[in-house]
Chains A and B, each alone.
Chain A
Amino acid sequence: MFEILIKTLKTGTVTTKYPQKPDIAPLGFRGKPELLPEKCNFCGECVKACPPGVIWLDEEKGEKRFTLSCCGCIFCGMCEEVCPCGAIRLTREYELGSKTKDDLLTIIRRRV
């Protein structure tokens, strides 16, 4: 019994102070996809590669739109892999809790 008590006292507190202190995800963690709008050339390779289909291209009033929704994204990194111009990058950000689906969208518009 004393051995267990000594071990418990030696271990101390293991609880993280998460909301007070920011917890940065480890290197190589696949979090929220980030778009670099200057580099994107609307080729559509990522649309074909995305397994859950949360990336889509459409056209409206002479404007090309590229939409990426984090809602439904499985953070596989396929879009980053296939992109020929490196316009998608997965960041280490993971705090994506949102009250609406609309807030999870990222849109690039470009005049044709």
Chain B
Amino acid sequence: MTIEDEREIMGQRLHEKIKNIFGRSLSIREVDAGSCNACEVEITALSNPIYDMERFGIHIVASPRHADMLLVTGPVTRNMELALLKTYNATPEPKLVAAMGSCACNGGIFGETYASGGGVDRFIPVDLYIPGCPPRPQAVIFGLMVAVDKLEQKIRKLEVKA
């Protein structure tokens, strides 16, 4: 057995452990890293009576020290870069990071410029991508369920020879 295989097995075990730990509830800290506020409006809609995220045991908390997951929106602007890294370091292990919206995934419409970082994964490791501009509240619920392995991922890489 090579070192890489062992590492993979250890990774799987860690993954199962995280799954067991997060099995019941998930506390989310929302980080606005230079978003246009459309994603924030959708997150607000998640806690209204219609979408009601609390019925899955998903809560929005007020401090990164209480959180299991960071929900990052926006392309990480130069001014928010340090704040995002500090928030990430303040979150206790094991932690998940979700990039919400197209800007957080890949820079989106802002792209990569002097002021815009061009995606969260350039600064901190990302576990979940939720594309959409902004994603529907249902899409966010689906993404969070995928992150904690309660639902199966639907989208797969498609390669066609024509």
* Measured CA separation A15–B47 after assembly (Å): 11
Per-position 1/0 for A70-96, Cβ under 8 A of B: 111111100000000000000000111
Verify if B130 is at the interface (C-beta below 8 Å from A): yes
Minimum distance in angstroms from A104 CB to a CB of chain B: 6
Minimum distance in angstroms from A101 CB to a CB of chain B: 6
* Measured CA separation A72–B161 after assembly (Å): 24
Minimum distance in angstroms from B150 CB to a CB of chain A: 8
A76 surroundings in chain B (CB, below 8 A): 133
Contact in complex: A37, B162 (CB < 8 Å)? yes
Contact in complex: A72, B49 (CB < 8 Å)? no
Q: How many A-B residue pairs have CB under 8 A?
A: 134
Q: Is the interface of A mostly helix, strand, loop or mixed?
A: loop
Contact in complex: B146, A97 (CB < 8 Å)? yes
Contact in complex: A35, B55 (CB < 8 Å)? no
B130 surroundings in chain A (CB, below 8 A): 96-97
Contact in complex: A94, B161 (CB < 8 Å)? no
Contact in complex: B158, A72 (CB < 8 Å)? no
Verify if B1 is at the interface (C-beta below 8 Å from A): no
Contact in complex: A99, B151 (CB < 8 Å)? no
Contact in complex: B143, A97 (CB < 8 Å)? yes
Verify if A110 is at the interface (C-beta below 8 Å from B): yes
Minimum distance in angstroms from A69 CB to a CB of chain B: 7
Of the listed residues A19, A72, A73, A107, the one surrounded by the most CB atoms of chain B closer than 10 A to its CB is A72
Q: Knowing A18-B51, A94-B138 touch, does A104 contact B108 (C-beta < 8 A)? A: no
Per-position 1/0 for B43-61, Cβ under 8 A of A: 0000001111001000000
Minimum distance in angstroms from B100 CB to a CB of chain A: 10
Contact in complex: A74, B158 (CB < 8 Å)? no
Verify if B155 is at the interface (C-beta below 8 Å from A): yes
Per-position 1/0 for B122-134, Cβ under 8 A of A: 0000011111110
Among candidates A53, A97, A107, A108, residue contacting B129 with C-beta atoms closer than 8 Å:
A97
Chain A to chain B contacts (Cβ below 8 Å), 14 pairs: A19-B145, A23-B138, A52-B111, A54-B106, A71-B105, A72-B105, A72-B131, A75-B132, A94-B136, A94-B138, A95-B138, A96-B143, A97-B155, A99-B147
Q: Which 5 A-B pairs rank lowest in CB-CB distance, beginning with the nearest?
A: A72-B106, A97-B143, A37-B162, A74-B133, A37-B160
Chain A residues near B (Cβ < 8 Å): 14-16, 18-19, 23, 25, 32, 35, 37-38, 40, 51-54, 69-76, 94-110
Chain B residues near A (Cβ < 8 Å): 49-52, 55, 102, 105-109, 111, 119, 121, 127-133, 135-136, 138-139, 141-147, 150-151, 153-162
